[in-house]
Structure 1
Amino acid sequence: MTQQSSLHPMLNVAIKAARAAGAIINRASMDLDILKINTKAPNDFVTEVDQAAENIIIETLLGAYPDHGILAEESGREHGNKTSEFVWIIDPLDGTTNFIHGLPMYCVSIALAHRGVIQQAVVYDPTRNDLFYATKGRGAFMNDRRLRVSKRTRMSDALIGTGFPFRRGDNFKRYMKMFEEVMVECAGLRRPGAAALDLCYVAAGYYDAFFETGLQPWDVAAGSLIITEAGGLVGNFTGESDYLHQREVVAGSPKIYGQLVTILAPYTRVIKAEEEVEAGTDTGNASGPAAALAAAAAEPKKRASVRIRKSNEA
């Protein structure tokens, strides 16, 4: 009996939805010249394929569980039951820019949260037909192979994934400082361009760790469970479990995760400062948002000690 034949019923429905979306994406990838592309914001694209893939996912999930809620990248919360304790968190095509260019690094990401805790996760890579999946407490798998994070313990040996900032208003200078600090400590940095797949690569041991800022819940929800079920840790830049909504994430094997958090912790405050600027709120002094921007542009403070949470807390 294969692992997939004994899966949780809700996970099986998510896998069915992910494969249906993957079939749409694969068909469209054969003829990118006729693809209709819209721009949500500079460098942030959505195609008719994103929307068709999202529609088939939602149709499949709500067909099986009509009382569940939906949080999806393209349609937000407009589908499903907005008061349900069960919420499906969906990215129908993570890596749209890669897809538009024919670069075969993109995926479908589907997670189920119950009362805010991720219980089921699927990430499907349609170009390689690789299916990553996990149920809370039952381990993580790629196809039928059990996943475990890498055993490397030294940063100098570590291969680390990241994502570059690309939206207008992102703090590129701050990211470059962060990038440089990590780069000189590790064996190499990679940026394929699909965060959900990057997180699965940590779970599979291809990377030893991953970090990125500016991510949304649908980018990290499924991958975060797959990592913790593979024995890894996930958190924000200070090692705490508020990563789904804080727009920053660090993930990795326990030893490398701890060392990476130590490097990145001084940069966590820049996210908060940028959000204060966006919201137009005061930071406690006369300058308000201007001061927040100044703080964001300043050099990071001396590294503080950080608390590393265990995987069952993440």
Structure 2
Amino acid sequence: MNYPETLKITENIAREAGNILMTHYGKTHNIKYKSPGDVVTEADVASEEYITKRLKSEFPSYTVLGEEFGLSETELESDFCWAIDPLDGTANYAMHFPIFAVSIGLLRKGNPVVGVVYDPNNNRMFCAAKGHGATMNGKPISVNLNTKISPDGLFGFSSRMLHANHHFISYFLKGRSLGSAALQLCAVAAGFFDGTTDLGTKLWDIAGGSVILAEAGGKISSPQGTPIFPLPNDSPAYDSDAVAFLATNGVLHDECVATFQERRK
């Protein structure tokens, strides 16, 4: 498989999906609730329909897993599976808060190999293909070189973390919650954040950002330090189960895992 060529196609699809989001942005939305706090708008649906149609046209034998419509097949019938979040940060988007993204990741035998996260508000395109490095708008990016947990370092959290692990959060006086797991992973990949963590994301939130992070020199695992990837075909993540993760610049990973576990003792 030609990963760089696949990446170019994916980048174009993500950009067009971002254009769809921007045509709806700032307008009154038809907001529906999938569950308490989990909203969907007509823009989510339009973006996912476009992405799925394009991916199935370009890669007809690949399975597609989308946030709004689930798996395109009744089961994984290919070694390749696209995991797409057509609008990561829907709550921000619905309230006209300009932090959201399109996230598209390709998994091969459960391992992320191609990833694109597009921030249409700032026209920032984060891309990576396995073995070919990570870029932002075509320029190489890499994680920062911080070697110790510092209260001055930026670290990404979700609102769920406020209730789940206060001890870990207390180590970071400058914690940030962007409302988009994909963009927070890219913030680590680009060296802006030391790390980021969440206990309730889904596969489509992290598939694209995971390969971008890895190619930028970072590391992602469960908060306990166990590998997330490769995912087996029967992983509940393909059925929309939550995927807890901890992502760092790599150097800080063991220290962050140990710190995360202190509250569990």
Q: TM-score, normalised by structure 1?
A: 0.76
Q: How do 1:1-80 and structure 2 match up within 5 A?
A: 8-30=4-26, 32-33=27-28, 35-78=29-72
From 154, 161, 172, the equivalent of 2:156 is 161
- Higher radius of gyration, 1 or 2: 1
The amino acid of 2:4's aligned partner reads H
Percent identity of paired positions between Structure 1 and Structure 2: 35
The Cα shift of 1:7 comes to 7.2
Greater relative contact order structure (CA < 8 Å, 6+ sep): 2
Distance across 2 between alignment mates of 1:65 and 1:264: 40
Q: Check 1:28–1:84 CA distance in 2 against 1; reply closer, same or farther (3 A cut).
A: same
Q: Which residue of 2 aligns with 1:249?
A: 245
The Cα shift of 1:260 comes to 1.2
Question: Mean alpha-carbon deviation: is it higher for 46-55 or for 183-192?
Answer: 183-192
Residues 14 and 103 in structure 2, CA contact (< 8 A), matched pair in contact too: yes
Q: Which residue of 2 aligns with 1:203?
A: 189
Residues 10 and 104 in structure 2, CA contact (< 8 A), matched pair in contact too: yes
Distance across 2 between alignment mates of 1:147 and 1:187: 25
Distance across 1 between alignment mates of 2:104 and 2:247: 18
Distance across 2 between alignment mates of 1:78 and 1:183: 38
Q: Which residue of 2 aligns with 1:90?
A: 84
The Cα shift of 1:79 comes to 5.4
Higher percent of residues as strand: 2
Let me know the Cα RMSD of the aligned residues. Answer: 2.0
Q: Which residue of 2 aligns with 1:215?
A: 201
Residues 13 and 60 in structure 1, CA contact (< 8 A), matched pair in contact too: no
Distance across 2 between alignment mates of 1:172 and 1:201: 20
Instruction: List gaps (5 residues or longer) in structure 1.
Output: 1-5, 166-170, 268-299, 302-314
Q: Give the secondary-structure state (helix, strand or coil) at the position aligned to 1:155.
A: coil
Q: Which residue of 2 aligns with 1:136?
A: 130
The amino acid of 2:53's aligned partner reads E
The Cα shift of 1:53 comes to 0.1
The amino acid of 1:232's aligned partner reads G
Q: Which residue of 1 aligns with 2:234?
A: none
The Cα shift of 1:172 comes to 6.4
The Cα shift of 1:155 comes to 1.0
Residues 155 and 187 in structure 1, CA contact (< 8 A), matched pair in contact too: no
Distance across 2 between alignment mates of 1:84 and 1:26: 33
Higher percent of residues as helix: 1
Q: Check 1:10–1:80 CA distance in 2 against 1; reply closer, same or farther (3 A cut).
A: farther
Residues 220 and 228 in structure 2, CA contact (< 8 A), matched pair in contact too: no
Q: Residues 113-133 of structure 1, C-alpha deviation per residue, up to 9 Å, x if partnerless?
A: 111111100000010010000
The Cα shift of 1:81 comes to 8.1
Distance across 2 between alignment mates of 1:59 and 1:85: 19
Q: Check 1:80–1:90 CA distance in 2 against 1; reply closer, same or farther (3 A cut).
A: farther
The Cα shift of 1:86 comes to 1.0
Distance across 2 between alignment mates of 1:144 and 1:152: 24
Distance across 2 between alignment mates of 1:101 and 1:191: 16
Distance across 2 between alignment mates of 1:70 and 1:95: 20
State whether structure 2 residue 235 is matched by structure 1 residue 235.
no
Q: Residues 139-172 of structure 1, C-alpha deviation per residue, up to 9 Å, x if partnerless?
A: 000011111101111212421111112xxxxx96
Residues 69 and 80 in structure 1, CA contact (< 8 A), matched pair in contact too: no
